[in-house]
Homo-oligomer: A and B are copies of this chain.
């Protein structure tokens, strides 16, 4: 009998929720704007209500199955043991908040739901989602790298999430590969995020020497307004053969490949699953990245090197949050 769980992806803009069946995947899902103005307690009320709605829909539809719990992926520093969320970006006023405890209380007091709640960092949740349901399910050890506004990641070792001793592992965006360079992000020079975060990719198109003159096709795609240029335009232009855009993605891939080479050298991880909005450029990035990964590692590290696309898109977080509940329920059964 398959278990089901509720997966929640708490973001600064939206809250995504879903009922996820261990075998079937997403059964129902919902999305709503995050009521950031009402502070952490307000958001907890929102989360509890959303979970209650999904539980009711599940009760009407599913007549069997073990309810494994409610998993929440959230941005910022998560202490999974204490169930706290600290200083989540884009959620002002949270500081250090006992999210697990508050959500468990609210569910029980206002909705009569007694449920295990698990809290996880959103990038880790996404990595675990890809590990169980997505692009990493063939790999026992891999790193998910998400390319978007920021560059983030999560690490799976031996099919388990690697959180690190303080719970902050996987921050590949803060890896320094150009310490004498000019790009800076969050006060640190030459990090991967400072080089290939979304904004930097667009800036690269507008400012690098060879690109000072946008190509006619790019100029057209952004409606003759350079400030509107987006990664989507750069992707489309490259697919149409625009040399300037192809060269730009080549550079993004090169830089990504160097970052991955560092992961291989340090952790001996050789499988990479790439997600996030920017990863829609697909082979335009992956192909140069894989070549660079080979060039930047020793031959003794080449066996098994692979870069594959993530498969769950922006649903990796809700999948992963639910998958953590399945894993937790199994470990409890193992203990009993």
Contact = CB atoms under 8 A, between A and B. Distances in A.
Interface of A: 77, 86-87, 140-141, 155, 162-172, 174-181, 186-190, 255, 258, 261-263, 265-270, 295-298, 300-301, 303-304
Given A165-B141, A188-B296, A300-B77, A266 B170 contact: yes
Contacts of A262: 175-176, 262, 266
Given A176-B177, A304-B166, A266 B263 contact: yes
A88 to B, nearest CB: 11
A163 B158 CA distance: 12
A167 to B, nearest CB: 7
21 contacts: A77-B300, A141-B165, A155-B266, A163-B268, A164-B267, A165-B268, A166-B270, A166-B303, A168-B300, A169-B266, A169-B268, A170-B266, A171-B298, A174-B297, A175-B265, A176-B296, A177-B177, A177-B190, A180-B181, A186-B298, A266-B266
Contacts of A188: 261, 295-298
Given A168-B268, A266-B169, A266-B171, A258 B300 contact: no
A152 to B, nearest CB: 11
Given A87-B300, A165-B268, 10 more contacts: A155-B266, A165-B304, A169-B268, A170-B266, A177-B177, A177-B179, A178-B179, A179-B255, A180-B181, A187-B295
Nearest to A189: B296
Nearest to A164: B268
A265 B178 CA distance: 15
Indicate the member of A164, A174, A177, A266 with the most B CB atoms within 10 Å. A266
Contacts of A304: 165-166
A266 B165 contact: no
Indicate the member of A87, A171, A178, A181 with the most B CB atoms within 10 Å. A171
B298 A174 contact: yes
B166 A140 contact: no
A267 B169 contact: yes
A295 to B, nearest CB: 8
A301 B268 contact: no
A258 to B, nearest CB: 5
Given A177-B177, A265-B171, A265-B172, A270 B165 contact: yes
Contacts of A172: 265-266
B301 A166 contact: yes
Contacts of A176: 177, 258, 261-262, 296
A304 B168 CA distance: 13
A98 to B, nearest CB: 18
Closest 8 CB pairs of A and B: A164-B268, A169-B268, A174-B265, A171-B265, A141-B165, A168-B268, A175-B262, A179-B258
